[in-house]
Amino acid sequence: MKADWYFTPLKTSVNGIVGTVLSTNSAGDVVATLAQVGRGRVVSIGTFLGAKYLADTYEDFERFVRALVRLADACPQMVASSGKRVYLRTGVFGSSRLVFLISPEGPQSVTVKGTVRSLGEYRSARLLGCDCTGKGNGADIPLETVNGRCIGLADSQEAMYRQFEVPIGECGYTVLELRK
């Protein structure tokens, strides 16, 4: 990992909690540890890794963050992607699973991908609201099953995932109801 400087060395044992050394520097000082604390895990890194990444992005840092997210079992069940910024949130209303897409950069077409576990039981996504005019509301968008892995999803080792394409209108949002 790239860093301008390290807070070193880190301790591998504190208050009876013993950590595993993940990385050392060229002098042999411990610069990263992993420890089991209660029912959780703590990763200690003796630097500000993000500062170097912001100056110059690099794949090793992204791979490291993905590994930490997988370690924490915090990978998303659904992701949204397009050529612009887009935010995805989900929620439950009654017995319905809703998907909210927000675009701070205006109208765009978005691909929503989800794990088989999260989207497997649904056949389509119904548009509840996609722009200020109500155009397209009520339309059913079929979900398709795609063979292959989707990096960034919780079950990225699965051999397939589900996806659908959806528009975001002039108001910058879309609300969908997943349908069985």
Name the least confident of 24-38, 114-128, 152-166: 152-166
Share of the chain above pLDDT 70, in %: 89
Q: What is the dihedral of CA 155, 156, 158, 164, to 10 degrees?
A: 90
Helix residue spans in the chain (DSSP H): 49-55, 59-71, 116-119
pLDDT of residue 156: 56
State the Cα–Cα distance between residues 9 and 28, nearest whole angstrom.
Answer: 9
* 91 contacts 102 by C-beta, under 8 angstroms: no
Phi, psi values for residue 114, rounded to 5°? -145, 160
Using 50, 70 and 90 to split pLDDT, how confident is the model at 132?
low
pLDDT of residue 162: 87
pLDDT of residue 60: 84
Q: Give Cα 106 distance to the centre of its chain.
A: 22
Question: Which residue in the block uniquely carries the two structure tokens 């200690």?
Answer: 44
Q: What is the dihedral of CA 118, 92, 85, 144, to 10 degrees?
A: 40
Burial category of 67 from C-beta neighbours within 10 Å (exposed 0-12, middle 13-18, buried 19 and up):
exposed
pLDDT digits (tens, 9 = 90+) for 80-114: 988 888 999 999 999 999 999 999 988 899 999 98
Indicate the helix (H) or strand (E) that contains 89: strand 87-93
178 pLDDT higher than 90: yes
165 pLDDT higher than 80: yes
pLDDT of residue 3: 77
Q: Greater confidence, 18 or 135?
A: 18
State the Cα–Cα distance between residues 138 and 177, nearest whole angstrom.
Answer: 10
What number is the average pLDDT over the span 130-139?
A: 69
pTM for the complete prediction?
Answer: 0.62
Q: Greater confidence, 175 or 152?
A: 175
Using 50, 70 and 90 to split pLDDT, how confident is the model at 152?
low
Name the least confident of 60-64, 67-71, 96-100, 128-132: 128-132
The closest alpha carbon to 98, from 112, 84, 81, 117, belongs to 112
pLDDT of residue 115: 82
